[in-house]
Amino acid sequence: MISKRVYEPIGIVLATDEGLLTLEPGGTPEIVVDESAFTDVDYYDGIGIAGSLDGAWIHNGRSGRLWHKSLNEAIGSVAITPSGALFAGTIDGKLFTSGNQGDDWSEIEGVKHVIRHGRFSPPAGEKPRPVSVAEAKEGILIGILGGGSWHTRDNGDSWLRRSDGLDPKIHKIYAHPTQRDRLFATASSGIYRSEDEGYSWIQSLGGLDRSFAGSLAVLPGAPDSLVLSIARHAPGDIGAVFRSANGGVSWSRLMLESEDEWEHIPCVTRPWDWEDLVFIAAEDKLYASHDRGRNWLKLNTGLPLANAMSASL
């Protein structure tokens, strides 16, 4: 289902080591920013944000401004919440937010205090840093690498840990598109689900044959359909894609043409205003499903390896 738009969609966006790429399904990819390697990308309702080691880049479809640099920091993660707030987490542990599409940014100082005083255990060779932001029914949750999930109701002045049952080596938190108390999280030990805004988490492993979880597409319904990329080893080697037709209770492995395993972990995404459309970028190929992940069509080949993916169609 597509909502009425007042802006032009920008297609599929890939964050790669070669730069930021956009393409229409089946079309020729275009490098729109080649300044550095890109680590993450997100899109919601006319606004796109992409993070690179040189800064955060914004695409404002509402005003017609194409991709432009907005924040000069080494960015490891980005997010846009349904309320319109932009977030950019740096690789050195800071979290910035903008309420005006990236025209101005302010640092959420409380995140540094949480990291400084928390007893965190990130993966070997890495430091605690914000890796994800998601909007809950009340307030926001952030994922801190090695520290699980944390919640604030006062824009970051105070924080409470919400990680009961959750692996602290978190990768990303995903808010359900319509059920604001339902959350999903990917981590080094798999995928987790919460029905109470992150107070408690339940691990979902039925049918999975590996545990280093990557990206997730949540297709709302009764029950929800989920598409998950997951790997055997950190930092994402020997990857596969699994689908759940029952909200994560059980999983089945997807076969894309004749392949069901890749050297690197694939990327998956669902356009924010579609309930049945999902994309997978696996190695140099792009696939799409219009029926909630049951059947797949190859759209493109010859693409660079994606670190993250988003879409606006």
Q: What share of the chain is helix, strand, coil (3-state, %, to 5)?
A: 5, 50, 50
**Does the structure show a pLDDT above 70 at 169?**
yes
- In this prediction, residues 240-266 reach a mean pLDDT of 97
The tokens of 126 are what? 């890495």
Phi, psi (deg, nearest 5) at residue 110: -60, -25
pLDDT at residue 8 in the model: 87
Using 50, 70 and 90 to split pLDDT, how confident is the model at 4?
low
pLDDT at residue 35 in the model: 81
What is the rounded CA–CA span in Å between residue 226 and residue 219?
Answer: 6
> Which domains occur in the chain, in start order?
11-312 (2.130.10.10)
Query: Which has the closest alpha carbon to 306: 255, 249, 253, 236?
Result: 236
- Look at the pTM and tell me if it is higher than 0.85: yes
**Does the structure show a pLDDT above 50 at 62?**
yes
**Does the structure show a pLDDT above 60 at 66?**
yes
